[in-house]
Amino acid sequence: MSGHDHPQAIGGKMLDPLMKILLAVFGVSALVMAYRFVTGIGSVSNMTDGFTWGIWEPINVVVFTGIGAGAYGVGLLCYLLNKGQYHGLVRPAVLLGAIAYTLGGSSIMIALGRYWNAVTLPIVPWWNLSSALLEVAVCVMMYVMVLWIEVLPAIFDGAAQSKSPRWSAIGKRWGARMAKAMPYIIALAILLPTMHQSSLGGLYLIAGPKLHPLWHTALLPTLFLVSCLSMGYGAVVVLVNILRLNWNAKQDQALFASMSKVNAGFLLLYVVLRLGDIVLHGKLRFLGADFATFLFVVEMALFIAPAVMFVMPGVQRNRGKLFGAALLAILAGAVYRADTYMTMYRPAGWTADGKSIAAGWDYFPSVGETIVTVGMAAVGMAIFVFISRLFPVVVVDQGKKSTIGRGEVRAASGH
């Protein structure tokens, strides 16, 4: 045994009430999606030629993948900076990332009007390398594969611990092979999000005249990259806290405290970049008594608050407070991303002094659109529960007996 704690399968009843609710919600959203494929996107959504992406891109893709960036953030610390103590967080973070990105990718397929032509995406000579969206699409597709490959060690590990000798042999053999290849896969798993998370910001460079000047900047790619890390670290803290409450997952508060200090650094870096950009480019004049300024101040507060909390010893020691700060860190990035993609986007653009120009379009998400987004999140949680029950993903605290958990904690067995 090394110093690392070993993850184990949670086991327990698969179709518990939570699972049933999650699947029911997803079922409803699946009906909406089916209806969309028959009647067109307009009949389930409030999207128009003016607000053409509705909430599906901004939330399902841009916010979900931000949350999924926990895998990227933990990978950076654990493998690139060689902070071995973060090992216990790798598997939950990677599984969360794999699921979030898979959902993001599937949401794109639902949002694409002419999804059948997406089969031509692998034809490299047809690639328009100027398109930020192409970069995102290709990169995200590759990264989804890489993330699931990163989940495989947990699966092989589960197989290796199986009672069936055949499964056990397969698990051991492939587990060892994977271990050799891992560094090369992990390097990809760090490179790809670096590229596509910045491209997600780069996507809105072209929207120049349509995006409010306080949001439109050449730093969009950098700000999106930084905000995915702050969201990702926050998401890992939140996730493990939830796992502890439900399954008695091991939660190393000191470890969280030091990871959150890193997060405080990223949150503040974001604030400095954003403010610096606005000051240097003479955009202070857009601050006034209006909605844009209000949103901007809210965003800044959302970034600064968790940063300050993360460095306070009182918060670092207290599970509840650190959890709250981590939630704020996710919210900060989510609000920034949604504002950039939606709230501060106007099809007819903005006047020179930052007033929105009227156009024939208004937008508020429809019930159908919202159900699809909620259903996607629900099925994501269901998949997480499913895999963690069957395979060793979560590190369980051996010191205490699980009381709240659904089903007692036990090691994986392959029956």
Q: What is the DSSP string of 129-151?
A: TT-HHHHHHHHHHHHHHHHHHHH
Which region among 13-21, 216-224, 242-250, 362-370 touches other proteins (by CB under 8 A)? Answer: 216-224
What residue has token string 């009430």? 17
Distance of CA 309 to the CA centre of its chain: 22
Count the alpha carbons within 13 Å of 3 in the hemisphere toward its beta carbon. 5
Tell me which of 25, 62, 186, 330 binds other proteins, using CB under 8 A: 186
Judged by CB under 8 A, how many residues of this single chain contact other proteins?
87
- Residue 313 touches other proteins, criterion: CB under 8 A: no
Residue 371 DSSP SS3 = helix
Site string for other proteins, 114-153 (x = CB under 8 A): xx-xx-xx-x-xxxx-xxxxxx-x----------------
Number of neighbouring beta carbons within 10 Å of residue 293: 14
- Residue 354 touches other proteins, criterion: CB under 8 A: no
Residue 350 DSSP SS3 = strand
What values do phi and psi take at 70, rounded to 5? -55, -35
- Residue 53 touches other proteins, criterion: CB under 8 A: yes
Secondary structure letter of residue 6 according to DSSP: P
Distance between CA 186 and CA 86 in Å, rounded? 15
- Residue 205 touches other proteins, criterion: CB under 8 A: yes
Min CB(208)–other proteins separation in Å: 5
- Residue 162 touches other proteins, criterion: CB under 8 A: no
Distances (CA, A) of 19 to 13, 102, 220, 392: 10, 19, 38, 19
Distance between CA 247 and CA 311 in Å, rounded? 28
Site string for other proteins, 65-104 (x = CB under 8 A): -----------xx-xxxxxxx-------------------
Which region among 10-18, 48-56, 322-330, 396-404 touches other proteins (by CB under 8 A)? Answer: 48-56
- Residue 190 touches other proteins, criterion: CB under 8 A: yes
Min CB(193)–other proteins separation in Å: 10
Tell me the pairing of strands 394-395 and 7-8.
Answer: antiparallel
When the beta carbons of 45 and 161 are compared against other proteins, the nearer one is 45
- Residue 343 touches other proteins, criterion: CB under 8 A: no
Distance between CA 104 and CA 200 in Å, rounded? 12
- Residue 2 touches other proteins, criterion: CB under 8 A: yes
Tell me which of 142, 187, 312, 327 binds other proteins, using CB under 8 A: 187
Distance of CA 388 to the CA centre of its chain: 18
- Residue 176 touches other proteins, criterion: CB under 8 A: no
Which region among 90-98, 110-118, 308-316, 328-336 touches other proteins (by CB under 8 A)? Answer: 110-118
- Residue 52 touches other proteins, criterion: CB under 8 A: yes
**What residues numbered 255-284 form the site for other proteins, per CB under 8 A?**
255, 258, 261-262, 265
